[in-house]
Amino acid sequence: MGVTGRCVVEEERRVRANAREYNEKFQYASNCIKTSKYNIVTFLPVNLFEQFQEVANTYFLFLLILQLIPQISSLSWFTTIVPLVLVLTITAVKDATDDYFRHKSDNQVNNRQSQVLIGGVLQQEQWMNVRVGDIIKLENNQFVAADLLLLSSSEPHGLCYIETAELDGETNMKVRQAIPVTAELGDTSQLARFDGEVVCEPPNNKLDKFGGTLYWKESKYPLSNQNMLLRGCVLRNTEWCFGLVIFAGPDTKLMQNSGRTKFKRTSIDRLMNTLVLWIFGFLVCMGVILAIGNAIWEHEVGVCFQIYLPWDEGVHSAFFSGFLSFWSYIIILNTVVPISLYVSVEVIRLGHSYFINWDKKMYCAKRRTPAEARTTTLNEELGQVEYIFSDKTGTLTQNIMVFSKCSVNGHSYGDVQDMLGHKAELGERPEPVDFSFNPLADPRFQFWDPSLLEAVKLGDLHVHEFFRLLSLCHTVMSEEKSEGELLYKAQSPDEGALVTAARNFGFVFRSRTPKTITVHELGQAITYQLLAILDFNNIRKRMSVIVRSPEGKIRLYCKGADTILLERLHPLNQDLSSITTDHLNEYAGEGLRTLVLAYKDLEESYYKDWSERLHRVGSAPEAREDHLARLYDEVEHDMMLLGATAIEDKLQQGVPETIAILTLANIKIWVLTGDKQETAVNIGYSCKMLTDDMTEVFVVTGHTVLEVREELRKAREKMMDASHSVCNGFYQEKLSSKLTSVLEAIAGEYALVINGHSLAHALEADMEVEFLETACACKAVICCRVTPLQKAQVVELVKKYKKAVTLAIGDGANDVSMIKTAHIGVGISGQEGIQAVLASDYSFSQFKFLQRLLLVHGRWSYLRMCKFLCYFFYKNFAFTMVHFWFGFFCGFSAQTVYDQYFITLYNIVYTSLPVLAMGVFDQDVPEQRSMEYPKLYEPGQLNLLFNKREFFICIAQGIYTSILMFFIPYGVFADATRDDGAQLADYQSFAVTVATSLVIVVSVQIGLDTGFWTAINHFFIWGSLAAYFAILFTMHSDGLFRMFPHQFRFVGNAQNTLAQPTVWLTIALTAVVCIVPVVAFRFLKLDLKPELSDTVRYTQLVRKKQKTQHRCMRHAGRVGSRRSGYAFSHQEGFGELIMSGKNMRLSSLALSSFAPRPSTSWIDTLRKKKGCEGSSAGSPSGAADKTLRV
């Protein structure tokens, strides 16, 4: 964008706060974003310049110039200029509208308001007026306007929270902290005096790195990414903050990451351009042949004929005459590449785009967003997609975590039940559980199984302990704006879901201080002393808290991945553990994210000893991590199992079905997500990309080049081995020669999971092919923790080596580069931001619409475009080649066969509308069938309907038609006379006969090609024929001739010629001979080698109900293997932050004096009712009972 425009490469950036004059020296980019291309003044010249960069347009301009030279002008100038002007106008109008919308969206972004500190006063400024070096104030939930250095915030210690979903797709909240010296600058007057100077790296696209130094008051302060707020982030849970603009507009990391806007062309476009070049070559060949013919003719015959027809002035030799005739022939034969081709293609695409926009089945009523084809030039490519690159969050998932099921003490809760207690089918849900007893409940929380609440109310100790754990063991922060109106700031939505569940079931996490957690347990406030948070990390896959209950008992609560936790249980838990494992399997099979919960009582003395050791390790600088891990490991042992939770990462509606259908349509789906591996894999399972039937799921997590290479090699070997055992070494010979094909023919189903680190290595030049081969051999590929740029690189890689059409779909700003890189970019217009949509070619609000976009719209578009192109080339060859044959009979003089008006109007009036109607409306099979038989999509991927072979067939048919079109009338006219004895074979009658039979033949042909005759098709086809005759008779009328005798020389021709039975018999014969063989071939092809679509049509015709054999959708209820998903999309170190109290406000700290021990009478009464059933259950929570009893 703007960066490229500047000639001097920036080496380092110096920014001084509150010093606009100083900063202006460097001419940094302003915060104004410009994606539009023209303004009112520049539009015409720039647009025309751009249009004439198109080869086709220049070519026609060149032709026009040729036609102005009288010696070679074989056609009037208007035969070219009329279509050319038409084309240029249509394109210009379209470009103008596009640019208008870009202006609008630019303005919208540029005019967003932000508060800028100017002269010590906060002023409302538009985004585009923000300069580098300005200090701006952000408020909660505002978008960050530029890349800022955080100076201070409303939160203590200069902390602030941001959501970076727009930027990298990670949905968890992140913490940024101002450097201590600036954190104190709380009010505007202080900030206005701030004159620190930042020296930092030049603009780049690395989202997670920033290096710089702040010079202020003669001291240096290092700056890191931890101090930066990047454009595109949203400020959350922070009332306000101040930041210093470091990078603005096009220099921001968001914009740097968005890649360059490339003009996308479809593969048909490229093929078309190649073909047009070939045709051009063919045209030159014809020109050369005819020019040589002309030279010979003039030399042999023309010389003798000179008494009647002397050579033109300046022509002295046959050779020169041949040279001139070459150009003349180029002019008259140019209609093989008609200019209307390009316009028609655009019109058809526009029509298809409108159909997409109008599709009610792609309209999301909930969000009130219809689908939108933002680019109108890519439609037919939608029918050829082979690879889909999908973002996860917001695209596949709704990014809503829902506490869905749980298993407590061997009892599973959460199945939706109907009145009779049977498992209910989806769709007939009963009323959700009523939480009205609990004033603190979150009204948005829904749960469908009333038995869990009953268990709570009945005082089931295990259930109580279960929820107590959920309310204690987390790193969620709470905020209570007014009494009872609790807001949780969860670092990950999973934790939020769990704590919210506990809250609704009566265990309300109310507030926390660095040392305490206050929980309202069934109406009573109980404050636990927080002794330690054993924080989460990737290796541990668990987190624990150690709390001291008001009774003084020390207990460790732990939640974590099942694989990890189940090994750490006390041997007593064996039975329970096996039941819970069954439940876990069940949950996992449904694609839920599971966690296992456990607790452990700690002896006072043991804890004291342990905490001392912890303290020691904590202060020791070296190998702190290892020591800590060992200590944590030691204490999290011999735990008692409480149960398991299952969280549903809510998929968007219809995602698994869509993926299944797309997979059946042979489309490979890769998920590229910034999220964590576990989460991504989990989603992979729940949306059926990964299944348990898969032979193997390879996981590549290597940190070094060698590791990654080794892992990839192993994966390939395994796949090879498997296919070898299947094929008995059939592939052995081919193996060395063509690795790719072997890998693609692999028998089993494999999947590949690769994380960001490994991907970085895998994408290096020497390994990318290896990676690609491995990945493409797999049915599903999941790349996790990838940066936006890596997403684009992966797409680029596939594009580069696979020659396949790629589609990228995503919803966030982090997907923008991928969307721009892929052949087709699809934006999900979700609730979050619109960057992805703005960068996309198509947008809609639900992932499931993708199947309709591809299988219905894409397929039809492709089909229509192919049929259109075939017919178009056919009709123009049939039309033009007649001149070629005529050349041999008219002394190669470049005499046209037809009237010049016929030549002008043939492509724009007589034959354009029927083929346009076919290109816009044609349908081979009804839309439902495309969904039922996803295999119908395959011809597009394999490029079967329009390729070089098909092209040659069309051309051959066109040439065949042109031969008949010329030689049959020739045979008839050669020495025949009319029925009134007059001459028949005059040039004008011949022209009218050939033109009429041509129009009739191509109309019959389009009728044959049209498979779907709507009223519009009827109107256009019959209308074109009618128009032809109407125009013919008008042009040949007396009145026009009297007005322009030079222009309308064919006066009286139509009525004289078309009154002859011979002429009509000639036309009929031509039509029969041209069409009958085509029908024969078509029918034989249909009869002997029917395509799937033909069969579908046929079965449709005979109304045989056929079972949807191709669909093998499996429904819910399969048994899945258990996958350990420590579901937290969670960052390490949050626990530490909490314990340090850094993120606590002073106010809340003050409030959190240890509350007096609450009386537990309420809970006691409940317990007494239940008697001692609780303890007699022989549960592991016997100890817990005791602690709870006061």
Partner 1 sequence: MKNKTNVLPREGEAQPSRCPDNTAFKQQRLPAWKPQLTIASVLSSFFLTGAFCLTVGVCLVLSANSVREIQIDYSDKCSDCSKLRENSSNWNKECHCSVNFTLKENILGDVFMYYGLQNFYQNHRRYVISRSDAQLLGRNVNIQRSYCAPFSTYRNGTPMAPCGAIANSIFNDTINLFYNHNSSVIQVPLLKTGNSWWTDKNVKFRNPESYNLSSAFAGTARPPYWQKPVYLLDEEDERNNGYLNDDFIIWMRVSAFATFRNLYRRVRRVRHFTEGLPAGNYTFHISYNFPVTRFKGRKHVILSTVVWSGGSNPFLGIAYLVSGTAATLTGFVITGIHLKLRKKKTYFQRR
Site residues for partner 1, 16-75, by CB under 8 A, read 74
Q: State yes or no: residue 304 binds partner 1 (CB under 8 A).
A: yes
10 DSSP 8-state letter: P
Rounded Cα distance, 186 and 193, in Å: 12
Q: Find the shortest distance in angstroms from Cβ 469 to partner 1.
A: 40
Contact by Cβ (8 Å): 1050, 1036: yes
Using CA atoms, how far residue 25 sits from 14, 21, 244, 246, 1111, in Å, is 10, 7, 18, 15, 66
Contact by Cβ (8 Å): 880, 335: yes
CA gyration radius, the chain: 38
Q: Is 391 a catalytic residue?
A: yes
Task: Give φ, ψ of 1183 to 5 degrees.
Answer: -65, -40
Q: Find the shortest distance in angstroms from Cβ 327 to partner 1.
A: 13
Selected from 218, 219, 308, 567, the binder of partner 1 by CB under 8 A is 308
Contact by Cβ (8 Å): 991, 1056: no
Contact by Cβ (8 Å): 371, 842: yes
Rounded Cα distance, 1181 and 1173, in Å: 12
Q: Find the shortest distance in angstroms from Cβ 595 to partner 1.
A: 39
How many Cα atoms are found within 13 Å in the side-chain-facing hemisphere of 841?
31
Selected range binding partner 1 among 18-26, 586-594, 813-821, 1061-1069, rule: CB under 8 A: 1061-1069
CB nearer to partner 1: give 902 or 973: 973
Count of CB atoms within 10 A of residue 1046's CB? Answer: 6
Give the type of residue at 249. G
CB nearer to partner 1: give 24 or 300: 300
**Which helix (H) or strand (E) segment is 518 a member of?**
strand 516-521
Q: State yes or no: residue 328 binds partner 1 (CB under 8 A).
A: yes
Selected from 1066, 1148, 1152, 1160, the binder of partner 1 by CB under 8 A is 1066
227 DSSP 8-state letter: G
> Binding site for ATP, residues?
391-393, 495, 536, 559, 593, 673-675, 785, 791, 814-815
Q: State yes or no: residue 312 binds partner 1 (CB under 8 A).
A: yes
Contact by Cβ (8 Å): 719, 779: no
Q: State yes or no: residue 983 binds partner 1 (CB under 8 A).
A: yes
Q: Find the shortest distance in angstroms from Cβ 1076 to partner 1.
A: 6
Q: State yes or no: residue 431 binds partner 1 (CB under 8 A).
A: no
**β-strand partners of 752:** 698, 781
Selected range binding partner 1 among 393-401, 683-691, 708-716, 989-997, rule: CB under 8 A: 989-997
CB nearer to partner 1: give 127 or 871: 871
CB nearer to partner 1: give 41 or 307: 307
CB nearer to partner 1: give 892 or 1134: 892
> Binding site for Mg(2+), residues?
391, 393, 811, 815
Subset of residues 434 to 463 that bind partner 1, contact rule: CB under 8 A: none
Active-site pick, 134, 147, 168, 391: 391
The dihedral through the CA atoms of 849, 853, 857, 863 has a sign that is: negative
Selected from 8, 41, 307, 419, the binder of partner 1 by CB under 8 A is 307
Count of CB atoms within 10 A of residue 282's CB? Answer: 16
Subset of residues 842 to 901 that bind partner 1, contact rule: CB under 8 A: 860, 889-891, 893-895
Using CA atoms, how far residue 330 sits from 14, 102, 317, 344, 700, in Å, is 61, 41, 20, 23, 60
Selected range binding partner 1 among 476-484, 533-541, 542-550, 973-981, rule: CB under 8 A: 973-981
Q: State yes or no: residue 971 binds partner 1 (CB under 8 A).
A: yes
CB nearer to partner 1: give 41 or 1088: 1088
Count of CB atoms within 10 A of residue 727's CB? Answer: 14
Subset of residues 340 to 379 that bind partner 1, contact rule: CB under 8 A: 354-355, 357-361, 363, 365, 368-370
Q: Find the shortest distance in angstroms from Cβ 982 to partner 1.
A: 5
Q: State yes or no: residue 1086 binds partner 1 (CB under 8 A).
A: yes
Q: State yes or no: residue 985 binds partner 1 (CB under 8 A).
A: yes
Q: State yes or no: residue 980 binds partner 1 (CB under 8 A).
A: yes
Selected from 451, 695, 1099, 1187, the binder of partner 1 by CB under 8 A is 1099
Contact by Cβ (8 Å): 823, 800: no
Selected from 68, 706, 1072, 1116, the binder of partner 1 by CB under 8 A is 1072
Structure tokens at 192: 């206005």
Q: Find the shortest distance in angstroms from Cβ 1154 to partner 1.
A: 48
Rounded Cα distance, 310 and 329, in Å: 20
Contact by Cβ (8 Å): 296, 302: no
Selected range binding partner 1 among 395-403, 596-604, 795-803, 1008-1016, rule: CB under 8 A: 1008-1016
With CB under 8 A as the rule, give the number of residues binding partner 1: 100
Q: Find the shortest distance in angstroms from Cβ 371 to partner 1.
A: 9
**β-strand partners of 807:** 388, 824
CB nearer to partner 1: give 927 or 950: 927
Selected range binding partner 1 among 36-44, 107-115, 710-718, 920-928, rule: CB under 8 A: 920-928
Selected from 2, 186, 1011, 1141, the binder of partner 1 by CB under 8 A is 1011
Rounded Cα distance, 585 and 1118, in Å: 10
Selected from 464, 978, 1123, 1167, the binder of partner 1 by CB under 8 A is 978
Subset of residues 1017 to 1056 that bind partner 1, contact rule: CB under 8 A: 1017, 1038, 1041-1042, 1045-1046, 1049, 1051-1053, 1055-1056
Q: Which residues does 388 contact at the CB level (< 8 Å), separation at least 6? A: 662, 667, 668, 669, 670, 806, 807, 808, 809, 850
Burial of 357 (0-12, 13-18, 19+ CB in 10 A): middle
Query: H/E/C letters for each residue in 530-579?
Result: EEEEECCCCCCCEEEEEEECCCCCEEEEEEECHHHHHHCECHHHHHHHHH
Q: Find the shortest distance in angstroms from Cβ 468 to partner 1.
A: 39
> Binding site, residues?
391-393, 495, 536, 559, 593, 673-675, 785, 791, 811, 814-815
Q: State yes or no: residue 989 binds partner 1 (CB under 8 A).
A: yes
Selected range binding partner 1 among 149-157, 745-753, 797-805, 919-927, rule: CB under 8 A: 919-927
Contact by Cβ (8 Å): 385, 941: yes
Contact by Cβ (8 Å): 1004, 1068: no
Rounded Cα distance, 525 and 124, in Å: 45
Q: State yes or no: residue 990 binds partner 1 (CB under 8 A).
A: yes
Rounded Cα distance, 1128 and 682, in Å: 12
Subset of residues 200 to 229 that bind partner 1, contact rule: CB under 8 A: none
Task: Give φ, ψ of 138 to 5 degrees.
Answer: -115, 145
Q: State yes or no: residue 981 binds partner 1 (CB under 8 A).
A: yes
Selected from 120, 180, 202, 310, the binder of partner 1 by CB under 8 A is 310
**β-strand partners of 598:** 558, 641
Task: Give φ, ψ of 1140 to 5 degrees.
Answer: -75, -15
Subset of residues 555 to 574 that bind partner 1, contact rule: CB under 8 A: none
Mask of contacts with partner 1, 1100-1119, x by CB under 8 A? -x--x---------------
Subset of residues 528 to 547 that bind partner 1, contact rule: CB under 8 A: none
Q: Find the shortest distance in angstroms from Cβ 368 to partner 1.
A: 5
Q: Find the shortest distance in angstroms from Cβ 352 to partner 1.
A: 10
Rounded Cα distance, 453 and 471, in Å: 16
Rounded Cα distance, 933 and 210, in Å: 51
Selected from 977, 1108, 1159, 1161, the binder of partner 1 by CB under 8 A is 977
Using CA atoms, how far residue 814 sits from 167, 674, 792, 887, 1156, in Å, is 5, 8, 10, 61, 49
Give the type of residue at 244. L
Selected range binding partner 1 among 392-400, 679-687, 977-985, 1163-1171, rule: CB under 8 A: 977-985
Instruction: Name the residues annotated as catalytic.
Output: 391
